C-alpha cells in the first residue's frame, strides 16, 4: 500500500492487515470483510476458524486445580522461604501479614488419559478430556490487581483504550455469518455466595478500532442483545413493513445526495432485522434435547448460567460466529477457598466438558480454539488464617495455569514447569503476549502484522512483544 | 465492496497527484518526512537510547549520502534499509522520492507544526472569486483552483438551517423557525440566525460536549470499584464559560491553574476540576505511588493532547520514537502536576460518601441555614443531656471510690430520662450529618508541599531515575523567566504568543466539530506521524486570527459558519465522492451522522418532551434492566435507579456516565468510555444503532408524542399531517414520491391496527409519560409508526 493510503485510513478504517493468509471461503470473506484477505506470501495455515474463550474471572487457583505439588503436604503452615518469594510485590490484602504460611491444596490429584495429566479432583468432567488439553502451567503477567490484569489479558495492555482480542479478530478476519455479530460476549455470575469481581465493558471493547468490532453482549431474558426485541404491539410483520418504508425513503435520499453512508445505513437496518430473527432462534434452547441438558448439568436449564452459556457457545460456533467469549465470575477466593472453589467448579466443570464433548462429536473441535483461564494465579501461602481445612489465597502474577484445546493445539501436553511452591517459573515461561500471539497464529494471523495506526503509531494486540509458543502446536 | 473500491480510488488519486508534481522539487514536509518517519525514525530518530549506528535522520542532513542511497536501494541482505525484520518496506515510488530528494540536495524543513505561527497573506486566485469576502473561502478556492474545481452552491436554506442549528446548539430547527427562515429574504437572514444561536444558552451545552470528551469527564471513578464521584459543577462551569464567551486563554488558565490565581474565586477553583477528571483507583491492594504516577501521567498526556496536539504517552517509558520529545520532557511536565494534595488510593474523605480530596463544598443559603438550625438543635439536645448528667452527679456523695463512682454512673445511664436524652442527641447528630451530606461537592486542584519528581525508568513507578524540575518540552520555545514554574506558569506558557501549537490545535478542533474532520485530520496528533493539514495556509491564517482576536471562540465559530465553504450544499455526484470521498478538498458542505448525544436530544426536542433545564447533577434516563448488575459488583452504588419525571428527558450530556458501563446507546453511537482524553470520535454505522433507534423505549415513547404533534399541529387531513412531520423531523417539505410512501404507510398501518386494537394500545403504552393525548388509539398508533419511520431515516440522524 502507498503511504498515502495508510494515512487516509488512519483512525477510521482498518488499513494494514493486508496479509491475511487464510484462503478459505474467499467468496464469503470478500462479501463480509472485503479489506481483510490478501496475498498469501509467507502464509500461516489457519487451524482455527473460531475461538471460544472461557474466561474465569477473579483468578482460579492453579494450586488447587492444575499445578500438582505433592511436596507441599509436608510444608503445611511452614513459612514460605524468603528465597522463593524474592522481591515479589504483595497486594495490599496481604502486605500487612506477619507470616506467609504455606497452604497445601486440600484436594487430591490423579493422572488422567493416556497422557497421564495430573488434574485435581475438582475437575472430574474436564479430566475426561485430558488428552485434548494443552495445559500451560507457566503463564505469567505483570498485573497484580483484577482490573489491570483482566484488561491486560484481554487487550494486551493493562490500562484501557486498546482493542480487545475479540475486536482484533473481528477486525482482522470478519464474520462468517451475515445475521449475527462477529464477536459475542456472555457473562455469568457464580451460583455460590462468593465475591464476583466486577468486569468492565472495555474488556470486550474495540478500543481505537471502529465501534463495529466491539463485542456484542448476549444476556438472558427478553433481550439477548440490547434493544433487540420490538416494542409491544410491533410484530415482526409490522417491523418489516416499516423497514421497507425506511429503505424506500433512504433510497430516495441516496439518489439525491449520493452519500455512500446512506447505502451502508440501509444495509445495517437489514442486518438488524435479520438479527431480530436470528438471535432469538439462537437463544431459544427449547428445541435442545433433554440429553443435552443432562450433559451440561443441572444449571444448564437456568438461563444466564455458565452452563446455559456453554450451550449457547456451541450454538454460536455452529452458526459461524468468530469469537465467542464467556466470562464466569467468582474465582477470587481470598478466604474460604475450599468452599468457594468447589462451588465454582460445580458451576463450570461439567458444562465446560460438555462443550468440549459436543464440539468434538460434531467435528468442530478441529477448527475451534477453546481457551480456559483467568487473569492471574493465586499464592501458595494462605491469606488470613490457615487451618487444616481452610485457607485463602491472594493474587499471584508470577505463574499460573490455563489450558487450550482444539484447532491445532497439541492435546495431552503440559507445557512449562514451576518451582515446588508454584511460585516461580522454572522452565518455559509463557507471557500473555505469547499466549495471544499463539492464538492468533492458530487463526492464521501473524500477530506482528495485525496492526492498526492510531495516534501516529501502529498498534497490535501483542504490543511490541509476543512469541508464538511453537512447542504446543501440532 | 465499497471500502475496497475506496482504497483503489485513493491509490489512483495518489498516483495522479504524484505525476502532477513529478518534475518539481520534492517537498520535504509533505513527501519526505512521512517516509522517513514511517520507515526510519524508529531506529534513527529522536530516541537516543534506541538509536542505531549513531545515525539520526530526523533533524540533520549530515548523513553519508552515498551509503544512504546504497542502503535504501538494497533489495535484500544485511544492507537493506529498512531491515526486513522491521516489517517495513519502501515502495518503488517512495524510494524514487528519496533518491530525488538526495539529488536535489537533501534539504530539511523544520517540522511545520513547531514553526512560529505567522499569518500568511490571502492567496491569489486564478479563476474564480468566491461569493464572499470570507478569507476561508479564498483559501479553499485557491486549493480547488489546483484541480480546476469551484466551491459548490449554497445548500438549500432548510438544510443550512438544520446544519447550523445542530452545530451551534445541538438541536433541530422548529417548523416555525424553518418557515420564518424560508420567508426571510433579507441579505443577512442567515447571519442573524447565527447570532441568535451564538447567544442561546444551549450554545454552551453543545460546545461543552466535545470538551467533556477531551477532559475525560464522567460521574464515576473508573477502574474496578468505579464508585460515584461529583464533578458536575465543573461540567456546568464549562457550559457557562462557553456561553459567556470566555476567551480561550482564560478558559485554559482557569482550568489548569484557577486555584493559583491571586484571590481565586470559587468559580476559578471549580474550573480546576479539569485535571481531576482522570480515573481514580480504590481497589484494595494497590500502591499509592503507583497510582499517583498514573494520575499525574494522565494529566501530562491530556494536557499535551488537548493543547499541544502531541502524543506524549510514548515519552513516558522512553524518548519519543517519532517526535522530538524526550522522557525528560515528559517528567519535567509531570512536575507541574505532581504537587496536588491527593492520594493514589482513592479513599474518600470522612464521611465516606462523596469525593476524594481535595474538593470544595458548594453550599446554598438554604442548605447552610438548614445545617445551622439542625446544629442548633443538636447543641440544645447536648446541653440538655449535660445538664441532666451534671445535676444528677451533684447528688453523688462527695467521697466516692472509683468503684462506687462507676456504679453510680451505671445507674445514671440506666435512667429512662438519660436514655431518652442520649437517643435525642444521637438522632440530632445524624440529622446534621445528613444535611451536610446534601451539600454538593466538586473535585478541585490544590497545591500541597512540592513532591520530588523523577524520571521513571520504563515508566515504572518504583524505578526512580534522575530528579527533574518543572519545565516545558525543550524543543518548544521556552517559558519566559517571568513565569512561575508551576501550573499557572504552564498555563500562561500554553497560551503565550510564542507557543506555536495551542492556537493551531484548538482551531483545528473547532473546525473538526463543524466539518466532521479537522484541517489536520489527526486532531490528536500534530506530530510527524500525524497527517499534514489539508489547507496549511488556512489553518495558519485562522490560528493567528483566533489568537489575535483575544482567543474569541464565538467570533471564530461565527467566522467559520458564515463562510461559503461551510454553507455549501453537501450533495455531490458519485464521481465527486469517488474523487474525494472524505471531502478533503472542501468542495462540498459537511454532511455526517450526528454524535450520540444529539441523536437522542433531537428526538426529545421534536417530541416536545425535552427538558430545558441546564446543568446540575447527572440524571438517569431509561436504561436496560440488569445491565449494571451483570457487569459490576452489583453492590449499593452499582445499581441503576431510573430517574423520575423530567430527569428522563434531559439532554444526553447530563446522562449519568458510569465508566465501566456507560449508557449503551452512547457506546453504540461511538461515544468514548471517557477513561482517557479523547479529541476525536469515530463514526460507525452499525446494526446495533438501528436496534437502538427502533426499540429503545426513549424512541418508542418519543414517537408517540411526535405522532400527537403531527396529528394536532399538522392540519386536518393525513397529507397535511405528514407534511408537517417532514418539517418537524427533517426541517423540509417532502417530495411527491416521499409523500406517497408515507401516505401509503399510514393507510396500511391504520388498516392493520384497526384489525388489532390491542396491539395499538400496547404500542402506545411504552414509557413513563402517560399523558393522555386525546387521539383515537388506532390513528395514533398508525401515526406513531410513521414517526418511528421518520426517526430511523439516515437523514434524521444526519446533519
Decide if pLDDT at B7 tops 50.
no
Reference A25, options A177, A234, A227; nearest CA is A177
Asked whether residue B406 is domain-assigned, the answer is yes
Cα A43 from Cα A216, distance rounded (Å): 30
Could you write out the three-class secondary structure of B163-206? HHHHHHCCCCCCHHHHHHHHHCCCCCHHHHHHHHHHHCHHHHHH
Asked whether residue B6 is domain-assigned, the answer is yes
Residue in the block written with cell 512521512: B34
Cell numbers given for B517:
474532520
Cα A465 from Cα A158, distance rounded (Å): 14
Domain ranges of chain A: 3-220+303-472
Q: How far is B665 from chain A (nearest CA, A)?
A: 9
Q: How confident is the model at residue B128 (pLDDT cuts 50, 70, 90)?
A: confident
Q: How confident is the model at residue B619 (pLDDT cuts 50, 70, 90)?
A: very high
**What string of DSSP letters covers B704-773?**
HHHHHHHHHHS-SSHHHHHHHHHHHHHSSPPPHHHHHHHHHHHHHHHHHHHT-HHHHHHHTT-SS-----
Cα dihedral B498/B502/B507/B512 (nearest 10): 150
* Between A16 and B572, the higher pLDDT residue: B572
Residues whose CB is less than 8 angstroms from the CB of residue A321 and which lie 6 or more positions away in sequence, other chains included: A50, A175, A176, A177, A180, A181, A182, A183, A184
Element (H, E) at B456: strand B453-456
- Per residue in B752-789, pLDDT tens? 999 999 999 999 999 999 998 999 999 999 999 999 99
Reference B189, options B154, B163, B157; nearest CA is B157
Asked whether residue B299 is domain-assigned, the answer is no
Checking DSSP bridges between strand A50-57 and strand A117-120, what pairing results, if any? unpaired
Can you give the C-alpha Rg of chain A in angstroms?
A: 23
Q: How many domains does chain B have?
A: 3
* Between A280 and B12, the higher pLDDT residue: A280
What percent of chain B has pLDDT above 90?
69
User: B361 by DSSP, 3-state: which?
Assistant: strand
Cα A351 from Cα A371, distance rounded (Å): 14
Q: State pTM to two decimals.
A: 0.85
Cα B775 from Cα B786, distance rounded (Å): 15
What percent of chain B has pLDDT above 70?
95
Write out residues 361-380 of B within 8 Å (CB-CB) of A.
none
Q: Does domain A3-220+303-472 have CATH number 3.40.720?
A: yes
Q: How confident is the model at residue B350 (pLDDT cuts 50, 70, 90)?
A: low
Cell numbers given for B480:
519566559
Q: How confident is the model at residue B23 (pLDDT cuts 50, 70, 90)?
A: low
Arithmetic mean of pLDDT, B260-275: 98
Cell numbers given for B610:
425535552
Query: Do the beta carbons of residue A129 and residue A405 sit within 8 Å?
Result: yes
What pLDDT, on the 0 to 100 scale, is given for residue B424? 95
Q: Is A467 on the interface with B (CB under 8 A)?
A: no
Asked whether residue B168 is domain-assigned, the answer is no
Query: Do the beta carbons of residue A190 and residue A329 sit within 8 Å?
Result: yes
What pLDDT, on the 0 to 100 scale, is given for residue B13? 37
Q: Which residues of B touch A445 (CB under 8 A)?
A: none
Q: How confident is the model at residue B348 (pLDDT cuts 50, 70, 90)?
A: low
Domain boundary among B423, B438, B453: B438
Cis peptide before B82 (omega within 30 of 0): yes
Decide if pLDDT at B104 tops 80.
yes
What pLDDT, on the 0 to 100 scale, is given for residue B102? 87
Question: For A460, phi and psi rounded to 5 degrees?
Answer: -145, 170
Write out residues 378-397 of A within 8 Å (CB-CB) of B.
395
Q: How far is B425 from chain A (nearest CA, A)?
A: 38
Write out residues 203-232 of A within 8 Å (CB-CB) of B.
205, 210-212, 214, 216-217, 219, 221, 223, 225-232
Residue B431: alpha-carbon gap to chain centroid: 39
Can you give the C-alpha Rg of chain B in angstroms?
A: 32
Decide if pLDDT at B21 tops 90.
no
Q: Which residues of B touch A10 (CB under 8 A)?
A: 521-522, 531
Q: In this complex, do A268 and B690 lie within 8 Å of one another by their Cβ atoms?
A: yes
Write out residues 624-653 of B within 8 Å (CB-CB) of A.
624-627, 630-634, 638
Least confident of A28-42, A111-125, B457-471, B690-704: A28-42
At how many degrees (to 10) do helices B736-754 and B718-730 cross? 120
Q: In this complex, do B675 and A202 lie within 8 Å of one another by their Cβ atoms?
A: yes
What pLDDT, on the 0 to 100 scale, is given for residue A339? 95
Decide if pLDDT at B465 tops 50.
yes
A387 forms beta bridges with: A390
Query: Do the beta carbons of residue B750 and residue A241 sit within 8 Å?
Result: no
Q: How far is B778 from chain A (nearest CA, A)?
A: 12
In chain B the first and final C-alpha atoms are separated, in Å, by 25
Q: Rounded to 5 degrees, what angle do the CA atoms B32, B38, B43 make? A: 110
Q: How far is A450 from chain B (nearest CA, A)?
A: 12
What pLDDT, on the 0 to 100 scale, is given for residue A235? 94
A134 forms beta bridges with: A404, A413
At how many degrees (to 10) do helices B201-214 and B189-199 cross? 70
Asked whether residue B502 is domain-assigned, the answer is no
Query: Do the beta carbons of residue A4 and residue B15 sit within 8 Å?
Result: no
User: With the C-alpha atoms ordered A16, A19, A22, A28, is the resulting torsion angle positive or negative?
Assistant: positive
Asked whether residue B557 is domain-assigned, the answer is no
Of the residues B631, B678, B700, B760, the best mutation for testing chain A's interface (the one with the most A CB atoms within 10 Å of its CB) is: B631
* Between B106 and A124, the higher pLDDT residue: A124
Cα B711 from Cα B783, distance rounded (Å): 8
Q: How confident is the model at residue B636 (pLDDT cuts 50, 70, 90)?
A: low
In chain A, which stretches have pLDDT less than 70?
Answer: 1-43
What pLDDT, on the 0 to 100 scale, is given for residue B352? 47
**Residue B138, class by beta-carbon neighbours within 10 Å (0-12 exposed, 13-18 middle, 19+ buried)?**
buried
Q: Which residues of B touch A143 (CB under 8 A)?
A: none
Cα A414 from Cα B150, distance rounded (Å): 69
- Give the Å distances, CA to CA, from A223 to A279, B530, B626, B685, B696: 9, 42, 11, 21, 11
Could you write out the three-class secondary structure of chain A? CCHHHHHHHCCCCCCCCCCCCCCCCHHHHHHHCCCCCCCCCCCCCCCCCEEEEEEEECCCCHHHHCCCCHHHHHHCCCECCHHHHCCCCCCCCCCCCCCCEECCCCCCEEEECCCCEEEECCCHHHHCCHHHEEEEEEEECCCCCHHHHHHHHHHCCCCCCCCCHHHHHHHHHCCCCCCCCCEEEEEECCCCCCCCCCCCHHHHCCCCCCHHHCCEEECCCCCCCCCCCCCCCCCHHHHHHHHHHHHHHHHHHHHHHCCHHHHHHHHHHHHHHHHHHHHHHHHCCCCCCHHHHHHHCHHHHCCCCHHHHHHHHHHHHHCCCCEEEEEEECCCCCCCHHHHHHHHHHHHHHHHHHHHHHHHHCCCHHHEEEEEECCCEEEEEECCCCECCECCEEEECCCEEEEEEECCECCCEEECEECCCCCCEEECCEEHHHHHHHHHHHCCCCCCCCEEEECCEEEECCCCCCCCCHHHEC
Cell numbers given for A116:
497421564
Reference B566, options B147, B207, B171, B159; nearest CA is B159
Asked whether residue B247 is domain-assigned, the answer is no
Arithmetic mean of pLDDT, B218-237: 93
- Per residue in A293-302, pLDDT tens? 999 999 999 9
Query: Do the beta carbons of residue B787 and residue B706 sit within 8 Å?
Result: yes
Residue A435: alpha-carbon gap to chain centroid: 12
* Between B60 and B430, the higher pLDDT residue: B430
Decide if pLDDT at B394 tops 50.
yes
- Per residue in B50-65, pLDDT tens? 788 888 888 766 788 8
Asked whether residue B91 is domain-assigned, the answer is yes
Could you write out the three-class secondary structure of B528-565? CCCCCCCCHHHHHHHHHHHHHCCCCHHHHHHHHHCCHH
Cell numbers given for B694:
427502533
What pLDDT, on the 0 to 100 scale, is given for residue B343? 86
Query: Do the beta carbons of residue B167 and residue B563 sit within 8 Å?
Result: no
Cell numbers given for B231:
464533578
What pLDDT, on the 0 to 100 scale, is given for residue B191? 97
Of the residues B526, B686, B763, the best mutation for testing chain A's interface (the one with the most A CB atoms within 10 Å of its CB) is: B686
Q: Which residues of A touch B794 (CB under 8 A)?
A: 250, 253, 261-262, 265-266
Q: Which residues of B touch A187 (CB under 8 A)?
A: 630-631
Reference B273, options B227, B215, B221, B223; nearest CA is B215
Residue in the block written with cell 469515530: B682
Helix residue spans in B49-174 (DSSP H): 65-73, 92-103, 135-145, 157-168
Q: Which domain holds residue B372?
A: 363-438
User: With the C-alpha atoms ordered B684, B688, B694, B697, is the resulting torsion angle positive or negative?
Assistant: negative
Q: What is the DSSP secondary structure assignment for residue B323, as one 8-state letter?
A: S
User: With the C-alpha atoms ordered B369, B372, B376, B378, is the resulting torsion angle positive or negative?
Assistant: positive
Checking DSSP bridges between strand A368-373 and strand A400-406, what pairing results, if any? antiparallel
Reference A253, options B722, B726, B702; nearest CA is B726
Cα B206 from Cα B565, distance rounded (Å): 22
Q: Is A143 on the interface with B (CB under 8 A)?
A: no
Cα B652 from Cα B597, distance rounded (Å): 5
Domain boundary among B407, B438, B469: B438
Cα A434 from Cα A456, distance rounded (Å): 25
Q: Mean pLDDT: which of A209-223, B133-147, B497-511, B656-670 is highest?
A: B497-511
- What ipTM did this prediction achieve? 0.87
Q: Which residues of A touch B692 (CB under 8 A)?
A: 226-227
Amino acid at each position: 500500500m502507498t503511504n498515502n493510503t495508510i494515512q487516509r485510513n488512519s483512525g477510521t478504517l482498518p488499513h494494514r492487515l493486508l496479509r491475511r493468509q487464510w484462503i478459505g471461503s474467499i467468496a464469503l470473506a470478500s462479501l463480509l470483510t472485503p479489506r481483510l484477505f490478501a496475498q498469501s506470501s509467507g502464509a500461516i495455515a489457519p487451524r482455527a476458524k473460531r475461538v471460544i474463550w472461557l474466561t474465569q474471572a477473579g483468578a482460579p487457583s492453579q494450586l488447587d486445580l492444575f499445578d500438582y505439588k505433592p511436596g507441599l503436604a509436608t510444608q503445611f503452615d511452614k513459612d514460605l522461604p524468603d528465597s522463593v518469594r524474592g522481591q515479589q510485590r504483595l497486594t495490599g490484602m496481604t502486605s500487612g501479614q506477619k507470616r506467609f504460611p504455606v497452604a497445601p491444596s486440600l484436594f487430591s490429584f490423579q493422572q488422567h488419559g493416556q497422557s497421564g495429566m495430573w488434574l485435581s479432583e475438582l475437575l472430574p468432567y474436564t479430566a475426561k478430556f485430558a488428552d485434548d488439553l494443552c495445559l500451560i502451567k507457566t503463564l505469567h503477567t505483570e498485573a497484580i490487581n483484577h482490573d489491570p490484569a483482566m484488561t491486560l489479558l484481554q487487550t494486551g495492555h493493562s490500562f484501557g483504550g486498546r482493542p480487545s482480542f475479540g475486536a482484533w479478530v473481528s477486525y482482522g478476519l470478519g464474520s462468517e455469518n451475515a445475521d449475527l455479530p462477529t464477536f459475542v460476549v456472555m457473562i455469568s455470575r457464580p451460583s455460590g455466595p462468593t465475591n464476583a469481581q466486577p468486569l468492565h465493558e472495555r474488556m470486550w471493547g474495540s478500543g481505537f478500532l471502529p465501534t463495529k468490532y466491539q463485542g456484542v453482549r448476549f444476556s438472558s431474558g427478553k433481550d439477548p442483545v440490547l434493544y433487540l426485541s420490538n416494542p409491544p404491539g410491533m410484530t415482526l410483520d409490522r417491523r418489516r413493513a416499516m423497514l421497507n418504508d425506511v429503505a424506500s425513503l433512504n433510497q430516495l435520499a441516496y439518489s439525491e445526495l449520493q452519500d455512500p453512508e446512506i447505502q451502508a445505513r440501509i444495509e445495517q437496518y437489514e442486518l438488524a432485522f435479520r438479527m431480530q430473527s436470528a438471535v432469538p432462534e439462537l437463544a431459544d434452547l427449547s428445541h435442545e434435547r433433554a440429553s443435552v441438558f443432562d450433559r451440561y448439568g443441572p444449571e444448564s436449564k437456568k438461563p444466564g448460567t455458565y452452563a446455559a452459556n456453554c450451550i449457547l457457545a456451541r450454538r454460536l460456533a455452529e452458526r459461524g460466529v468468530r469469537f465467542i467469549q464467556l466470562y464466569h465470575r467468582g474465582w477470587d477466593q481470598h478466604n474460604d477457598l475450599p468452599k468457594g472453589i468447589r462451588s465454582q467448579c460445580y458451576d463450570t466443570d461439567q458444562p465446560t466438558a460438555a462443550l468440549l464433548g459436543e464440539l468434538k462429536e460434531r467435528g468442530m473441535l478441529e477448527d475451534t480454539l477453546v481457551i480456559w483461564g483467568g487473569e492471574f494465579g493465586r499464592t501458595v501461602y494462605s491469606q488470613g488464617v490457615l487451618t487444616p481445612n481452610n485457607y485463602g489465597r491472594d493474587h499471584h502474577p508470577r505463574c499460573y495455569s490455563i489450558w487450550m484445546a482444539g484447532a491445532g493445539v497439541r492435546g495431552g501436553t503440559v507445557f512449562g514447569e514451576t518451582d515446588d511452591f508454584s511460585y516461580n517459573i522454572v522452565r518455559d515461561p509463557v507471557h500473555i503476549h505469547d499466549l495471544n500471539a499463539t492464538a492468533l497464529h492458530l487463526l492464521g494471523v501473524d500477530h506482528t502484522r495485525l496492526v492498526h495506526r492510531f495516534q501516529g503509531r501502529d498498534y497490535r494486540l501483542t504490543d511490541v512483544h509476543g512469541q508464538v509458543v511453537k512447542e504446543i502446536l501440532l | 465492496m465499497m471500502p475496497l473500491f475506496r482504497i483503489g480510488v485513493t491509490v489512483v488519486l495518489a498516483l495522479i497527484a504524484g505525476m502532477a508534481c513529478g518534475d518539481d522539487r520534492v517537498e520535504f514536509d509533505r513527501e519526505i518526512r512521512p517516509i522517513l518517519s514511517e520507515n526510519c525514525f524508529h531506529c534513527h530518530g529522536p530516541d537516543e537510547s534506541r538509536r542505531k549506528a549513531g545515525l539520526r535522520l530526523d533533524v540533520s542532513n549530515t548523513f553519508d549520502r552515498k551509503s544512504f542511497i546504497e542502503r535504501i536501494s538494497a533489495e535484500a541482505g544485511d544492507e537493506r534499509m529498512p531491515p526486513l525484520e522491521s516489517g517495513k518496506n519502501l515502495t518503488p515510488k517512495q524510494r524514487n522520492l528519496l533518491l530525488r530528494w538526495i539529488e536535489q540536495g537533501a534539504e530539511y524543513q523544520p517540522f511545520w507544526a513547531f514553526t512560529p505561527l505567522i499569518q500568511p497573506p490571502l492567496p491569489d486566485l486564478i479563476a474564480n472569486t468566491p461569493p464572499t469576502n470570507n478569507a476561508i473561502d479564498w483559501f479553499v478556492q485557491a486549493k480547488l483552483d489546483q484541480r480546476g474545481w469551484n466551491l459548490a452552491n449554497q445548500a438549500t436554506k432548510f438544510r443550512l438551517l438544520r446544519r447550523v442549528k445542530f452545530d451551534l446548539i445541538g438541536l433541530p430547527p422548529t417548523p416555525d423557525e424553518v418557515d420564518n427562515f424560508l420567508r426571510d429574504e433579507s441579505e443577512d437572514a442567515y447571519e442573524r440566525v447565527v447570532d441568535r444561536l451564538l447567544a442561546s444558552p444551549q450554545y454552551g451545552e453543545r460546545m461543552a460536549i466535545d470538551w467533556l470528551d477531551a477532559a475525560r469527564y464522567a460521574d464515576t471513578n473508573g477502574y474496578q470499584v468505579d464508585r460515584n464521584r461529583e464533578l458536575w459543577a465543573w461540567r456546568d462551569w464549562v457550559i457557562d464559560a462557553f456561553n459567556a464567551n470566555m476567551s480561550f486563554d482564560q478558559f485554559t488558565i482557569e482550568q489548569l491553574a484557577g486555584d493559583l490565581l491571586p484571590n481565586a474565586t470559587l468559580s476559578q477553583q471549580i474550573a480546576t476540576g479539569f485535571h481531576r477528571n482522570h480515573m481514580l483507583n480504590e481497589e484494595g491492594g494497590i500502591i499509592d505511588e503507583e497510582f499517583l504516577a498514573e494520575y499525574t501521567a494522565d494529566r501530562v498526556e491530556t494536557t499535551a493532547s488537548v493543547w499541544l496536539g502531541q502524543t506524549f504517552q510514548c515519552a513516558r517509558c522512553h524518548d519519543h520514537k517519532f517526535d522530538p520529545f524526550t522522557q525528560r520532557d515528559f517528567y519535567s511536565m509531570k512536575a507541574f502536576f505532581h504537587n496536588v494534595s491527593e492520594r493514589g488510593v482513592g479513599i474518600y474523605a470522612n464521611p465516606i460518601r462523596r469525593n476524594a480530596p481535595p474538593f470544595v463544598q458548594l453550599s446554598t443559603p438554604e442548605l447552610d441555614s438548614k445545617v445551622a438550625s439542625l446544629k442548633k438543635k443538636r447543641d440544645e439536645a447536648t446541653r440538655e443531656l449535660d445538664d441532666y448528667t451534671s445535676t444528677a452527679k451533684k447528688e453523688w456523695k462527695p467521697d466516692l471510690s472509683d468503684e462506687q463512682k462507676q456504679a453510680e454512673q451505671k445507674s445514671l445511664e440506666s435512667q429512662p430520662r438519660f436514655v431518652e436524652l442520649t437517643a435525642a442527641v444521637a438522632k440530632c447528630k445524624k440529622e446534621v450529618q445528613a444535611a451536610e451530606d446534601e451539600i454538593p461537592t466538586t473535585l478541585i486542584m490544590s497545591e500541597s508541599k512540592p513532591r520530588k519528581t523523577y524520571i521513571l525508568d520504563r515508566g515504572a513507578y518504583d524505578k526512580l531515575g534522575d530528579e527533574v524540575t518543572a519545565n516545558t518540552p525543550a524543543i518548544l520555545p521556552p517559558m519566559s523567566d517571568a513565569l512561575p514554574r508551576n501550573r499557572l506558569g504552564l498555563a500562561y506558557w500554553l497560551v503565550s504568543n510564542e507557543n506555536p501549537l495551542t492556537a493551531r490545535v484548538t482551531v483545528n478542533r473547532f473546525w473538526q466539530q463543524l466539518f466532521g474532520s479537522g484541517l489536520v485530520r489527526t486532531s490528536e496528533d500534530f506530530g510527524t506521524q500525524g497527517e499534514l493539514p489539508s489547507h496549511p495556509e488556512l489553518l495558519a491564517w485562522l490560528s493567528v486570527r483566533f489568537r489575535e482576536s483575544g482567543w474569541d471562540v464565538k467570533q471564530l465559530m461565527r467566522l467559520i459558519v458564515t463562510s461559503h465553504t461551510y454553507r455549501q450544499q453537501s450533495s455531490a455526484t458519485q464521481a465527486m465522492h469517488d474523487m474525494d470521498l472524505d471531502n478533503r478538498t472542501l468542495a462540498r458542505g459537511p454532511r455526517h451522522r450526528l454524535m450520540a448525544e444529539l441523536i437522542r436530544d433531537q428526538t426529545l426536542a421534536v417530541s416536545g418532551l425535552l427538558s430545558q433545564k441546564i446543568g446540575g447533577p447527572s440524571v438517569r434516563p431509561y436504561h436496560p434492566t440488569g445491565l449494571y448488575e451483570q457487569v459490576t459488583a452489583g453492590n449499593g452504588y452499582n445499581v441503576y435507579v431510573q430517574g423520575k419525571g423530567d430527569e428522563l428527558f434531559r439532554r444526553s450530556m447530563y446522562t449519568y456516565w458510569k465508566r465501566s458501563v456507560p449508557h449503551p446507546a452512547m457506546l453504540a453511537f461511538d461515544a468514548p468510555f471517557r477513561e482517557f482524553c479523547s479529541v476525536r470520535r469515530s463514526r460507525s454505522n452499525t446494526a446495533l444503532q438501528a436496534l437502538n433507534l427502533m426499540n429503545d423505549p426513549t424512541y418508542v415513547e418519543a414517537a408517540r408524542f411526535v405522532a400527537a404533534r403531527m396529528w394536532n399541529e399538522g392540519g386536518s387531513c393525513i397529507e397535511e399531517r405528514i407534511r408537517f412531520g417532514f418539517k418537524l423531523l427533517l426541517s423540509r417539505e417532502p417530495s411527491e414520491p416521499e409523500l406517497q410512501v408515507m401516505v401509503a404507510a399510514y393507510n396500511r398501518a391504520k388498516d392493520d391496527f384497526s384489525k388489532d386494537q390491542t396491539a395499538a394500545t400496547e404500542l402506545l403504552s411504552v414509557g413513563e409519560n402517560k399523558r393522555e393525548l386525546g387521539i383515537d388509539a388506532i390513528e395514533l398508533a398508525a401515526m406513531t409508526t410513521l414517526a418511528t419511520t421518520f426517526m430511523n431515516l439516515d437523514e434524521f440522524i444526519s446533519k
